Copies of this chain bind each other. A is one copy, B any other.
Amino acid sequence: MNAGAPVARAFRIVARAGRARAGVIETAHGPIETPVFMPVGTQATVKALSSGDLERLGPQIILGNTYHLALRPGAERIAALGGLHRFMSWPRAILTDSGGYQVFSLRARRTVDDDGVTFSSHIDGSPQRLTPERAMEIQTLLGSDIAMAFDECPPSDAPRATIEAAMARTTQWARRCLAVAPPTGQLRFGIGQGGVHLDLRRAHLHELTALPFDGFALGGLGVGEAPEIMHGVIDVVAEEMPADRPRYLMGVGTPEDIWRAIGAGIDMFDCVMPTRNARNGQLFVHGGRLNIANTQHRSDPQPVEAGCACECCSTYSRAYLAHLFHAKELLYYRLATAHNLEHYLNLARRARAAIAGGAFPTTPW
């Protein structure tokens, strides 16, 4: 390719409705139709599900976590075993985060310098070091289809000066990430910071989008700020991101959050909410949520959600699921997880269908 010329794009838009877009991202492990929700498989497993369960649910891409996998079982070990796809027996696309968000969450156990971050493992307290170069190396060893740049993610309540410093460092680190030769077929995404300050968000995206990333993400949102504040930022910033590359809102959020962000022009999402909330008893249903711990469900022969195609709803009653939950039976976690993921995956499919139809409603219900 020519320096400065556009790189071959892995992304194309196939439909629009207002600011919402439907597209396709081509990866080394198949196409991803956007808008897309990506289930989180932190430790090389979407908690409680097998790869067979996942294939039945049908996500085209899932997430892996650089921080967790590098600590255990180790990126070199996964590479020796044939890479993350083979290790976890997952044939479709994988996006790996860079570890930035996790190491900056370890506030009491890490020190940052311009070169990288030193931290202690949450597993055994051993000293660890993550730099932009090592973050990309790990993602190469894992063999992910989409690698994220290593970023500094400041807390939601950080002072403006702290956010500005994190932006500057993230830009420097983004250049270093891109200087590491990518493995064949791997796409690389940059991460914009800037807290809830519109001017900072714009300034940082301006710096990052000058770099030849295959896509761009918004980091540092949904980290404690009020939802209306978050959406205020997304509503303005999303459509200012490059139109010809995927836009990824990291770690957000509720079904309503995702729907609204799709309407603002975001293409990709991940969140632990469907999986984590499932384990705590909260199940997403059309138009709301139910708490399986509530007494009324213990005798209810209905499925969690009528018409839902997941293993839970197609096989079992609310009463059975409530029984498993109260008895703390392992099967509960799997059935509830499958249901909530089906709900999120179906939300994204419905959004795509609406955009293809040329009209994107303001709410999903």
Chain A contact residues, CB within 8 Å of chain B: 43-45, 47-52, 72-73, 77, 80-82, 87-89, 298-299, 301, 311, 315-317, 319-320, 322-324, 326-327, 329-331, 333-335
Q: A87-B319, A319-B81, A320-B88 are in contact. Are A72 and B299 (CB under 8 A)?
A: no
A299 touches B77 (CB 8 A): yes
B331 touches A48 (CB 8 A): yes
A47 touches B334 (CB 8 A): no
B77 touches A317 (CB 8 A): no
Tell me which residues across on chain B come within 8 A of A51, comparing CB atoms: 315
Tell me which residues across on chain B come within 8 A of A319, comparing CB atoms: 73, 77, 81, 87
What's the nearest-Cβ distance from chain B to residue A67, in Å?
A: 13
Sample of 30 A–B contacts (CB below 8 Å): A43-B323, A43-B324, A43-B327, A43-B329, A44-B320, A47-B329, A47-B330, A48-B330, A48-B331, A49-B331, A50-B311, A50-B315, A50-B334, A50-B335, A51-B315, A52-B311, A52-B315, A72-B323, A72-B327, A73-B298, A73-B322, A73-B326, A80-B299, A82-B301, A87-B317, A87-B320, A89-B315, A330-B333, A330-B334, A334-B334
A284–B330 Cα gap in the complex (Å)? 21
Tell me which residues across on chain B come within 8 A of A301, comparing CB atoms: 81-82
What's the nearest-Cβ distance from chain B to residue A325, in Å?
A: 11
What's the nearest-Cβ distance from chain B to residue A206, in Å?
A: 40
Known A-B contacts: A43-B327, A45-B331, A87-B323. Give 6 more (CB < 8 A): A47-B329, A47-B331, A73-B323, A82-B301, A88-B320, A330-B333
Closest to A47 in B: B330
What's the nearest-Cβ distance from chain B to residue A292, in Å?
A: 13
- Which among A77, A299, A330, A333 has the greatest number of chain B C-beta atoms within 10 A? A330
A322–B87 Cα gap in the complex (Å)? 11
B298 touches A331 (CB 8 A): no
Tell me which residues across on chain B come within 8 A of A329, comparing CB atoms: 43, 45, 47
A89 touches B316 (CB 8 A): yes
A81's partner among B44, B49, B317, B335 (CB-CB below 8 A) is: B317
What's the nearest-Cβ distance from chain B to residue A188, in Å?
A: 26
Closest to A315 in B: B89
Tell me which residues across on chain B come within 8 A of A43, comparing CB atoms: 323-324, 327, 329
Closest to A330 in B: B48
What's the nearest-Cβ distance from chain B to residue A263, in Å?
A: 35
